[in-house]
Each structure stands twice: as C-alpha cells, then as structure tokens.
Amino acid sequence: MTRSDQTGTAFVSTLAIAAVLVPILNQLVPVSSPLHVSTYVLTLIGKYLCYAILALAVDLVWGYCGILSLGHAAFFALGGYAMGMYLMRQIGPRGVYGDPLLPDFMVFLNWHQLPWFWHGFNHFPFALLMMVLVPALLALVFGWLAFRSRVTGVYLSIMTQALSYALLLAFFRNDMGFGGNNGFTDFKELLGFDLHRDSTRVVLFVATAIALGASYMACRAIVKSRAGRVIRAIRDAESRTRFLGYKVESYKLWIFVFSAVLAGIAGALYVPQVGIINPSEFEPINSIEIVIWVAVGGRGTLVGAAVGAVLVNYAKTYFTGALPEVWLYALGALFVLTTLFLPRGLMGLLPGSGDAQ
C-alpha cells in the first residue's frame, strides 16, 4: 500500500465519519450543548464539500493531464443552472405573480409562454440528466475543437477563460431566458421536500458528502488505471506520448468531459444549499480561485485538492467575517507563498509523499 493510498483511505474515512457525525450533532444533540452543529454551519460545510468536488474536477485535468482549465466555474454554473431550472419549476403557482407555469421573472418580462428549453425541467430525472449532460456537451464540443487543433498551454487556459466570460455575458442578458443578472432564487422545495427545513438540509449534506466520496473514488480509479498512466504521460511529454502511438486527443477529451461532469454535479448540489444561482458564478475569477485551491492543497494529489478547497474557503469565511480588510492580503500572500515555497502544496508537507506521483 503506497502513501497516497493511505492518505486516500484516511480521506474517505474522515468523510464517512463527517457524513454520519455532523447530521447527528445537528439533529440529536440539543441546541444548548457545545457540541451542537447549527444548520448554518452544516450548510456551510455542505458548500465546502461542493467546492471540494469542483477542486477534484480541476485537479484531475490540471494535476494529472496538464490542462489548466480556467473555465471550470462555467461547468459548475451550468450544472447549477440546470438544478435551478428544476427548482424554479417546482415553485409552480406559489411565485409572487402566482403564474402556474411561468417563473416570476418571465411574468415580469411579459413573456406568455415557456421557452422550449424550459420544457421537461419539471421532471427531476430529466433535470438530473441535464445537470450532467449540458456541461458534458459543452466540454465535448470545446475540447474536441481545442484538442484536435492542438491548442495547448496558456492558449488553452485563455480560451477556456474566454468561454467562461462569453457565457457570463450571455447569462446576464434577460432575453436568454435564465433570469438575467438576478438569476434564480426563492426556491421552495426539492422533490417535494421543503428546502428550508433542517431535515432537508441534512439530507443534502449527506448527499454531497457521498457525492464527494464517490467522485474521489472515481478519480482515483481513473488515475490508477492504465489510462491514468497515459494521461500522466501526456502531462509530462505530450509529443512523445503521441509518437508512441497513443491517441492523445481522445484521452484529453474524455478526461476533460468527465471533469466537466464532476463540476456540473458539484454545481447542482451547491444551488439548493445556498439557495441562489446567478451569472456571477461564471466570473472568470471563480475559475482562478478553484485553481488556487488545488495549488494550495497540492496539485496532482486529489486529496490535496479537496482539502485545499475546504481550507481556503474556511479561511475565506473566517477572514471576511472577522477581518475583512486583511482577507485579500492574506489570500494574496497565501498564493504567492504557496507557489514560491510549497510548489507541491500542503500535501507536499506530508512525509514520504514523493512517490505519490
């Protein structure tokens, strides 16, 4: 058993314990007890876990395949929007305007019928399919174009950023039919369960923890497989791998699409927990932040990415609350120091992590 297997096992076990313990501390421990976990904190942790899935997605393509995507926030947001559309349809006639079919913002814009792409989102299985399919399709088309033409390195990074930026601008437009700059909010229920009830929150939390665990297992399986070794070979010497006869483009494309799907799932789990989705999720700066989490945790380690996402976001929550003016200094210094002194991230601090690659 290698070192990375040990950390991986530790990670999954911690996650499993958290998935059981946190709900118990929230539901069964009385509020007066110091051990009680409030629903606010539970939702907050749930949010971090969504970010951890997103970080896994980025680590998979960047850490193992060398594709620095600055557009993963877009896949995340698309998954979130698909979930948001389902949640909007669930509101039904309980909106402010009470229209049985149209969401409030459409009534507000004087629309009289549902745009074609909104049909079907009242069925959860269909919405679920879309949460996965829409990011996957975008990644497929973009990746197919980009990898086939051998757009690599910084060019690819900037292009993914352009993609995300174009989507940001598009989703800001009211006539796109996605609520313009307000996006979707005021959700009522998911699968008939009230989103404001603690029990629903707990279930969402557990679902997120399970999704993170499953994502991690899937990523680990991929990087451990033969294909995973080819992918790492592409990262280290793309041309050489190509000359050895491997179809570099196909490997890159499938890993990119899978990563986009993970990001979409993370977004879909994120939206019901935070209760809002709007175009600012497409902001290119968000994509950069994801890369930062991965870098802080340790690129190409999977566990490190997830840990980095949770830690950086915890620090963000803490600092923006306690010392808002210090936060950006701290964050900025963190990135500079990490890249200068911890090129392998926090995971590089663990003894014997050298053979993890």
Point out which residues bind other proteins (CB under 8 A). Answer: 68, 142, 145-146, 148-155, 157-159, 161-163, 165-166, 169-170, 172-173, 284-285, 288, 291-292, 295, 325, 327-329, 331-336, 338-340, 343
Please state the closest distance from residue 279 (CB atom) to other proteins, in A. 11
Distance of CA 263 to the CA centre of its chain: 4
Tokens read off for 238: 């793309």
Q: Name the DSSP class of 183.
A: -
Closer residue to other proteins, CB minimum distance, 63 or 213 = 63
- For the CB of residue 329, give the shortest distance to other proteins in the complex, in Å: 5
Q: How far is the CB of 296 from other proteins (least distance, A)?
A: 9
273: number of Cβ within 10 Å: 21
DSSP bridge partners of 17: none
Question: Taking the complex as a whole, how short is the minimal distance between the CB of residue 248 and other proteins, in angstroms?
Answer: 14
Residue 300 CB, nearest approach to other proteins (Å): 12
Closest CB to other proteins among 124 and 172? 172
Phi first, then psi, for residue 152 (nearest 5°) are: -130, 175
Q: Is the CB of 71 or the CB of 95 nearer to other proteins? A: 71
Cβ proximity to other proteins, 82 vs 331, nearer residue: 331
Q: Which residues of 188-212 are buried (b: 16+ CB within 10 A; e: fewer)?
A: ebbeeeebeeeebbbebbbbbbebb
Query: For the residues of 45-68, what is the DSSP string, one character each?
Result: HHHHHHHHHHHHHHHHHHHHH---
Task: Output the smallest distance, CB 28 to other proteins, in A.
Answer: 42
**Is 325 or 355 the residue whose CB approaches other proteins more closely?**
325
- In the complex with other proteins, which residue's Cβ is closer, 45 or 156? 156
SS3 184: strand
Write the DSSP assignment of 231-284 as a string of letters: HHHHHH-HHHHHHTT--HHHHHHHHHHHHHHHHHHHHHHHHHHH-EE-GGGG-H
